[in-house]
Amino acid sequence: MKHTFLSAAFIISATIVEAQSGALIASPIPDNAEQRFCYYAGLAYSADAYVLLTGNNTVTDTVRDVEERLLRCKKGEDGLMHWEPESTMQLGR
């Protein structure tokens, strides 16, 4: 009985170690992904995708403007994808 229990424990621990080592090797980001995608907030965006960023202008306490910035995913001269500003807008509140 004791031998069976130890054998089962060894097999289970070996299986866990094998699964963990496989997980360490596998990456969710494919090779050369920076040449195919732009990344923002943990998501991948393809070429010509747009992202709208919105935030408060906190330069002074009296100004309560909201700033919106539109970014576009483009391929640079180096072949890598990057975010390029398309427009910026101030909205008064």
d(CA 23, CA 65): 46
Give the tokens for residue 36. Answer: 């195919």
Q: How many domains does the chain have?
A: 1
Alpha carbons within 13 A on the beta-carbon side of 60: 2
One-letter amino acid at 7 equals: S
Q: What is the span of the domain harbouring residue 72?
A: 2-91
| pTM score, whole prediction | 0.56
9 confidence band (pLDDT: 50, 70, 90): low
| Terminal C-alpha separation, the chain | 75
Calculate what percentage of the chain has a pLDDT beyond 70: 56
Proportion of the chain above pLDDT 90, given as a percent: 16
Amino acid at 31: D
User: Considering only CA atoms, which of 4, 80, 90 is closest in space to residue 39?
Assistant: 80
- Mean pLDDT of all residues belonging to the chain: 73
